[in-house]
Structure 1
Amino acid sequence: MAGAKLDALLVSHSANVRYLSGFTGSNGLVLMLVDRAILFTDPRYKIQASSEVDCRVQVVRGPLLPHVLAVIKRLRARRLGFENNRVSFEAYQFLKEHLPLKTALDPVAGWVEEQRMIKSDDEIDHIRRSVDLNSAAFERAVTRLRPDMRESELAAELDYRMRRLGAEGPAFETIVASGPRTAWPHARPSSDKLRGNALVLVDMGANLDGYASDMTRMLFVGRPGARVKRTYGAVLEAQLAAIDAVRAGVTAESVDRAARRVLRSHKLDRAFVHSTGHGLGLEIHEPPRLGKKDKVTLQAGMAITVEPGVYLEGFAGIRIEDTVVVTSNGCRVLTPTSKDLRVI
């Protein structure tokens, strides 16, 4: 804050509140001052906050912002930073209308997220355990897969297995799609039955102790034909090339470029319609993004996904995704699940 000449920083995004204070409740604000921090929450979380948080906790009744502003006024803060990409318009208007005239409101989008990009050893261990649990849930659910099962049934089985193994729940809505619907990158599970002689795409992640994992694997119900095998091989080649490109010091766009170069050699690059990956941690999608124009330099300790895919309307979509940790000389793949096309 000193570098930006701020007297205080108001943090409102729940993942950032948790990162800075340890508080996991649904209603909390952190006011960062030069020499201390204060967590504001309501009476529902009094006991919880006292056991989770090591900074000062101020339990208040009613909306939190008026109590934050009371502290700002008492301290005579001249410059208050706020997360302009996270705060609601209503909260912004309230701040503008009720701050003292001599207090400037400064937008500071992405400050905490930038700190969160580099994971501590403890955070990496949390992510690794989430990845392991996610893979174990996948293995257990797949053994119960039946050709007449509905997409929604398989999704429910995957979520159930995550919770049985100790997850707080899925890190995002589990994706299960069969046949031509695999060409929808973010298809929601439907009531359709898994098709015979068709691909099944499963994209799933667990939330364990607050940390997310993310994995995509492909199944085939029946006997895959030559085109399926050829396309799957191309995507796998692209994914391995992208993983090989990951290391501290390279740009995010260079990893994306490595995947696209392979798909271009197979004349599939135009069917790759999203970025190659993203960061993850307390949220399923965090910086950095690994896209065509993303110039962020990768650093050791970043946890990212590598997930190229191709989506061919009327035929199928194929995506392969792992969670990896950037190291000084490469990366460590956390996902233990085989990347072979699994035939059911």
Structure 2
Amino acid sequence: MMTTLSDMNEVWGNSDLALARRARVFSDPTAPDAILCFDPANVAYLSGYASMSSDMNPAYRIGVLATADSARLIVSAGDGPAALECICDPSMLFRYGEFHVVTAGQNRLGAARPAVADFGAAVRDALDSWDPGRQRRIGIEGETSDLVDGRSCFDARPLLRRSRLVKLPHEIAIIRYCLSLMQRGIEAALDAAAPGVNERDLAALVSAEITRGGGVPRSIAVTSGPRAANVDAFASGRRLAIGDVLRIDLGATFRGYWGDMARSAFIGLPSSEQEQCFAAISAGVEAERQVIRAGITASEVFAAAIAATRDAGLPQFARHHVGHGLGLNITEAPLLALGDHTVLQSGMVLCIETPLYRETWGGMMTEDVVVVTENGNTPLTDLSRDLRTCGGVPCSSIA
């Protein structure tokens, strides 16, 4: 496993990886001449640029007009310098709006066309620069868009979904590295967990490890005691106490790709009920690891996980899903759920989980990430899944 940022520098840069992803998309026999996208994840997939402006503002408008060998990126004037770091070619940058940056010496954006008034005008400029005669066919996210000005277009969402289902080896390497940072963070937090330590202090340790390795902490849910039943919750000032379950459920990104994993631990010795519940949810995740392979359906994985968890001591266990795809979104297709009959393919990256949440009692989970192979699956997470106690009580003391 790659464990350092310098190791990751040997992996393709964002623009090289985007070129490989576009090659996959446009090799599909249904592919159009170009695809126009506005969803930030699809923009990142086709251009290589993951925008912080998109993260900060859900209403921010960004786009890409992609062909097999080029990506015209449409961003705000303020987003231009960061976007240029990724695509490198100023002629492929189409900016809109107004933003002032004092330049010193040669302006990197000097070779780019001037910013236009609004997003729609920037999109039309990108289209006109690529196909001034309006003769080519365009795929878009949706059936129609007023921005294409009557050009021949069709819904490209099924094509993009198919392309993103299976990850390239370099994509898998990036996700694996992101998960390695998260594992370091979990280890740091569990080493520090003890009665009296508060959740925010542990979340800070997790975030520091992710950031130190070049990742971006995104969802750092460190919850304990009754708060561990809060499915997605920010860490609080609550201090750990003997008898608590500590649940650490993390999301982070590296080069735009998400990692998603979780571990639980006990402060002091667990009760017999806590041990039984932990054993049951562990059996559910293990059942997923045993059945996941190319050719099985997502719904079959769901059925195996639910049955195993119930059989291991939680007969009333219920879930809406037991995992999902992972990539440029934290939740991607397929969904390991009853109604999803997607056939798993080699190269899919999946989160697997059977979490338990009980109001006033707490919650616990183990969440791992695997890559589907022809004959099984390969784990991308290798942090111990065994029952762990914190606060000076070794696991060996558990009868």
TM-score by length of 2: 0.75
> 2: distance between equivalents of 1:143 and 1:105?
55
Q: Is the 8 A contact 1:141 1:161 kept in 2?
A: no
Which residue number in structure 2 is paired with residue 88 of structure 1?
none
Q: Residue 299 of structure 2 corresponds to which residue in structure 1?
A: 253
Q: Distance in 1 between matches of 2:370 and 2:170?
A: 15
> How far 1:45 sits from its partner (Å)?
4.8
Displacement of 1:308: 0.8
Which structure 2 residues correspond to residues 1-344 of structure 1 after superposition, within 5 A? 6=32, 8-25=34-51, 26=53, 28-33=62-67, 37-53=71-87, 57-60=92-95, 61=115, 62-70=117-125, 72=127, 74-77=132-135, 80-84=138-142, 95-96=145-146, 99-100=148-149, 102-103=150-151, 106-164=154-212, 166-170=213-217, 172-266=218-312, 268=314, 270-344=316-390
Deviation at 1:192, TM superposition (A): 2.0
- SS of the aligned residue for 1:161 comes to helix
More divergent stretch after superposition (61-70 vs 119-128): 61-70
* Aligned partner letter, 2:214: A
Deviation, 1:225, is 1.3
Is the contact made by 2:322 and 2:354 (CA closer than 8 Å) also made in structure 1? Answer: yes
1:80-99 per-position Cα deviation (integer Å, ceiling 9, x unaligned): 432239xxxxxx8xx43x65
How many angstroms apart in 1 are the aligned matches of 2:236 and 2:79?
A: 38
- Structure 1 CA distance, aligned partners of 2:348 and 2:266? 33
| Structure 1 residue ranges without an equivalent (≥5) | 86-91
CA contact (8 A) 2:35 2:139 kept: yes
Q: Which residue type is aligned with residue 256 of structure 2?
A: G
Partners of 1:314 and 1:282 in 2: CA distance:
35
Distance 1:31 1:155 in 2: 39
Quote the Cα distance in structure 2 between the aligned partners of 1:146 and 1:75.
Answer: 68
Q: More displaced, 269-278 or 256-265? A: 269-278
Q: State whether residues 272 and 311 of structure 1, in contact with CA within 8 Å, keep that contact through their aligned partners in structure 2.
A: no
Distance 1:35 1:135 in 2: 37
Task: State the secondary structure of the residue aligned to 1:213.
Answer: strand
Q: Does structure 1 conserve the Cα–Cα contact (< 8 Å) formed by 2:181 and 2:209?
A: no
**2:258, 2:194 → 1: CA distance?**
28
After superposition, the Cα gap between the structure-2 partners of 1:5 and 1:236, relative to the gap in structure 1 and judged at 3 Å, is closer
Shift of 1:333: 0.9
Shift of the 84–268 alpha-carbon distance from structure 1 to 2, 3 Å rule, reads farther
1:317 to partner: Cα distance: 2.1
Structure 2 vs 1, CA of residues 255 and 146 (structure 1 numbering), >3 Å: closer, same or farther?
same
Equivalent position of 2:3 in the other structure: none
Determine the C-alpha separation between the residues in 2 that align with 1:187 and 1:272: 21
User: 1:268-291 CA distances to partner (integer Å, 9 max, x unpaired)?
Assistant: 254333311111122222211111
Deviation of 1:50 after TM superposition, in Å, equals 4.3
State the 1:323 CA deviation: 0.8
User: CA 1:52 to 1:286, structure 2 compared with 1: closer, same or farther past 3 Å?
Assistant: same
How many pairs are equivalent? 332
CA RMSD across the alignment: 2.7
Give 1:216 shift: 1.0
TM score, norm. by length of structure 1: 0.86
| Counterpart residue type for residue 59 of structure 1 | F
What's the CA shift string for 1:256-314, capped at 9, x where partnerless? 11110112224625433331111112222221111111111111111111111222333
Q: 1:298, 1:339 → 2: CA distance?
A: 24
What secondary structure, in the 3-state scheme, does the structure 1 residue paired with 2:92 have? strand
Percent of matched pairs sharing the same residue: 32
Runs of 5+ consecutive residues of structure 2 not aligned to the other structure: 1-25, 54-60, 96-114, 391-399
